[in-house]
Chains A and B, each alone.
Chain A
Amino acid sequence: MDVAPLGPRSLDWRSVRQPSIALTLLALIACAGDAPHRGGTMVIATPGDADVLLPPVAHNQTASHVIERLFPKLADLTLALNTVDDSGFAPVLAERWARRDSLTIAFTLDGRARWQDGAPITADDVVFSLDVYRDTLTASPYAPSLEPVAAITAENPRTVVVRFRRVYPEQLYDVAYHLYVMPRHLLDSVPRARLASSAFARAPVGAGPWRFVRWTPGAEIVVEADSTWFRGRPNLDRLVWRVLPDVSTAVTALLGGEADALEVVLQRDDLERVATAPALRLVPYASPLMAGILFNVRRPPWNDRALRRAVAMAVDRETIVRNLFGPYGEVPIGSTSRMQWIAGAPARQLPFDTLAARAALDALGWRDANGDGIRERGGRPLRLALVVPTTSRARQQAAQLVQDQLRRVGVELRIQPLEFGVFDRRTAAGDFEAMFFSWTLDPSPVYLAHWWRSGAPDNRGGYASPTFDSLFADAAAAPTRAEALPRWQRVLEHLNDEAPGVFIYSPRNHAAVARRIDGVTIRPDSWLAMVASWRLAADARP
């Protein structure tokens, strides 16, 4: 294993923390074979600072990553990301759970669990946490995910009973995945409306495998391994999130040995820079992201299914992906990404077929009567205005390729780049003809409802299909993954047939990680979920 070069450019705090490299090496040799290789700091380059470090009110990705290290859940997803039944979960705060009936799960808390100030974690903390999430004064954006929970009660200090409003297969997922447990004894006195601005939200006391050390706003957040954590201490000593907003600078910091890890390298040239660096490696993992074009089906002529299908067939998605990402991207099979377990079912898709697209447009009466290359019907040219956020280089480039492809079948695509705030507001208000979306998917396929179910708040294209709603309800009710898979396949195929959108690309995510870090496993929905098992390579210095 290569050792990342550390040039003379920086004071290397990682090395000066040790009294002597020789002594460290001797210690390592002595320990070899007895225990996992422990120690060392990993510096993670992150594009933005956290907003707050309190689970119900944190909004951005960096905050989520830090919070996930500090606060425990009752149970967590395993690498399989199976959200349907209980087999996909591993115990965290709860040592076990049992279903009392179809609406009730009882969790037994691990008696060894302690807050990092020494107080024991009790069932009251869990009850309190749900209450905080759901209090309208807290204004938590995660509250809707916990809506199916009717009540949580503390049966005794170690037993929490969760009762759900309805019977459905993802009960455990909802309560385990979306609820972080917080210390009642430290937060009970803080008014709910002031939780986000409380001192606790800047310097939290958690109960996870990592302990908060410090937060230098705009610069870095540091956590260290909790050597007393009841499920075993993490291998690395410290994690440092270093804020580097410019992606080129972040990649340069990786190449220069001043950062060890970056969640995802998106640009092809950056990927190639990292791939050829001897001290770094690219770690592939399934992407939760999927992007494409969403039609506003409320607006004619885009309420015409046949027209949407014709346009979808004219888009050569393979070429777009190859141009944009090369080997680092793929065409999604539908409204999903490889991260979701439903992507395992090959769904029928509309083919790329310009002849069929032209024939369909002809049949619909869209013809180029005046010879300008653009089809018309009743004197109206076949134009599609596509709004694209200026913040996304990939979407802007993809839009240009789609524009060129559609022109070949006589459809004029007008690209409207919009500042993100404007893009968001206009698309939320339905003020668009087509939008270039980019969705970060949840591990659960039930999340598809947000975008496609009739009347859903985030169904920006206004798609409404009783057939879809019925297929969706059927799939979401399947009790096991094996039974659910073919039903989800039908859901995806229905969307592909209806073409309320064109599902164009999903990146193949690659994290950049220094070779001095070993044992790197990435859970696609949360790339640092397994970081407690990452460790320094045997020949790397701390």
Chain B
Amino acid sequence: MTGFAVRRLGAALVTVLAAVTVSFILAHLAPGAPIVGDAERLRADPAVVARLQAQFGLDRPLPEQYARYVANAARGNLGESFVLHRSVSSLLAERLPNTLMLAGAAVAASFGLGLAVALLQARAAGTWLDGLLGTATLVFYSMPSFWLGLVLLIVFGQTLGWLPLGGMTAPGAPDDASAAARALDVLRHLVLPAATLALVQTAVVARYQRGALVDTLGEPYIRAARARGLAERVVLLRHALRASLAPAVTLAGTSVPALLAGSVLVETVFGWPGMGRLTHDAIQARDYNLIFGAALTAGVLVALGNLAADLATAALDPRHRK
């Protein structure tokens, strides 16, 4: 198991380096240049732009810029944002927890709900209920997340008035609010964006898990369990579900990129101050250091997700340890 973990860790490092390299190449291949502020409102003096480019090393040859960036990143220095004038590390440290909170809540909700739907479908495989749930999950899967987010916002926020209308906290929260009040406030603001991300992901989980469960329920040991007179609930939850979890666990790890991509739109719609929005704004402004820092962080998250999925799968089934 240790050797397996080391091999996977090596692969994870390669993934991270590849993410940074590809983003570096793509960012520089893309037309356009770093823009400071509102380019149609405020024109920077060309001399000032040239000085800023020199200050940030943008006047150096690309291979040199790349080598410097990788060397600095290896030492933990991700540079400074051209637009926000802050270290990229501090910006990411500020925003990443918010995105992790959002994505974590979405993963938990989508897997809880997805597994529940899959169990219902597998138990009623081939019936109208199976078809109905399959269609419902497909509908959510087909919905663009920004549109779904707006619909949820209008229905549950504006019309019903049950939940807040965007943001991460109520506006103008007093400095002396208690930790519990703040946590409750954040939780209430988390519901709609997390639900938006989760509903799309639920469909994926349910479809994967239903297929795996239906296959497993046809196995001889399941028939044997039923023949021994075990309750159907026990057969489903203790025997079939556990044996069929490997695809879902793999999916959990590989869903990180989809969640990160989805968070860009969801964070924009809900005004959630996370890494997705920060990255989106950085790309718009060609804020290279911030783009690379975000790519590096995303690469690490994706690699960690895959690594965790590999290790969990290997723990569930020793045949995967090779």
Contacts and interface: CB of A to CB of B under 8 A. Distances in A.
Real binding pair: yes
A197 B38 contact: no
A357 interface: no
Interface string B268-295: 1111011001100100111000000000
A61 B39 CA distance: 11
A400 B51 CA distance: 40
Contacts of B55: 193
Contacts of B85: 51-52, 57, 196-197, 201
Contacts of B269: 246, 248-249
Given A197-B85, A222-B172, A10 B48 contact: no
Nearest to B48: A139
Contacts of B173: 11, 13
A41 interface: yes
A256 B164 CA distance: 9
B172 A243 contact: no
A141 B169 contact: no
A12 B270 CA distance: 19
B31 interface: yes
Interface string B33-69: 1011111111111111001100100000000000000
Given A51-B85, A141-B43, A424 B161 contact: no
A249 B270 contact: yes
- Main secondary structure, interface of B, reads loop
Given A57-B85, A139-B51, A256 B172 contact: no
A70 B290 CA distance: 29
The bracket for how many chain B residues form the interface is 35 or more
A425 B185 contact: no
A246 B153 CA distance: 12
A141 B95 contact: no
Given A201-B85, A253-B166, A242 B271 contact: yes
B170 interface: yes
Nearest to A240: B172
Given A51-B85, A253-B165, A253-B166, A419 B32 contact: yes
Contacts of B150: 246, 248-249, 252
Given A52-B84, A52-B85, A249-B165, A13 B171 contact: yes
A191 to B, nearest CB: 12
Contacts of A421: 30-33, 35, 284-286
B134 interface: no
A206 B179 CA distance: 30
Contact of B273 (A216, A246, A255, A439): A216
A141 B40 CA distance: 13
Contact of A141 (B42, B153, B165, B281): B42
A256 B165 contact: yes
B80 A197 contact: yes
Interface in A221-242: 222, 238, 240, 242
Given A43-B171, A258-B164, A425 B33 contact: yes
Interface residues of A, number: 68
A113 B154 CA distance: 47
Nearest to A219: B273
Question: Which of A17, A57, A252, A438 has the most C-beta atoms of chain B within 10 angstroms of its own C-beta?
Answer: A252
B163 A9 contact: yes
B104 interface: no
B164 A10 contact: yes
B257 interface: no
A278 to B, nearest CB: 14
Contacts of A248: 150, 269
B175 interface: yes
Contacts of B166: 244, 249, 252-253, 258
Contacts, number: 188
A9 B43 contact: no
A526 B106 CA distance: 41
Contacts of B162: 8-9
Nearest to B36: A59
B136 to A, nearest CB: 25
B195 interface: no
B164 A9 contact: yes
B229 interface: no
Contact of A59 (B37, B45, B51, B284): B37
Nearest to B55: A193
B170 A219 contact: no
A48 B55 CA distance: 26
Nearest to B46: A457
Contacts of B211: none
Contact of B154 (A10, A252, A424): A252
A245 interface: yes
B26 to A, nearest CB: 13
B77 interface: no
B202 to A, nearest CB: 23
Contacts of A8: 161-162
Given A59-B42, A197-B80, A13 B32 contact: no
A258 B274 CA distance: 20
Contacts of B47: 136
Nearest to A288: B41
Nearest to A17: B174
A474 interface: no
B97 to A, nearest CB: 12
Contact of B175 (A7, A49, A214): A214
Interface string A192-232: 01001100011000000000001011111010000000000
Interface of B: 30-33, 35-48, 51-52, 55, 80, 83-86, 91, 94-95, 98, 146, 150, 153-154, 157-158, 161-175, 177, 181, 184-185, 188, 268-271, 273-274, 277-278, 281, 284-286
CB-based closest 8 A-B pairs: A59-B37, A421-B32, A218-B273, A7-B161, A196-B85, A244-B271, A240-B172, A197-B85
16 contacts: A7-B161, A8-B161, A9-B165, A10-B165, A59-B38, A136-B48, A202-B86, A218-B273, A218-B278, A243-B167, A246-B268, A258-B170, A420-B39, A422-B31, A422-B32, A439-B40
Given A197-B86, A457-B46, 9 more contacts: A16-B174, A139-B48, A196-B85, A240-B172, A242-B167, A244-B166, A421-B30, A421-B286, A424-B35
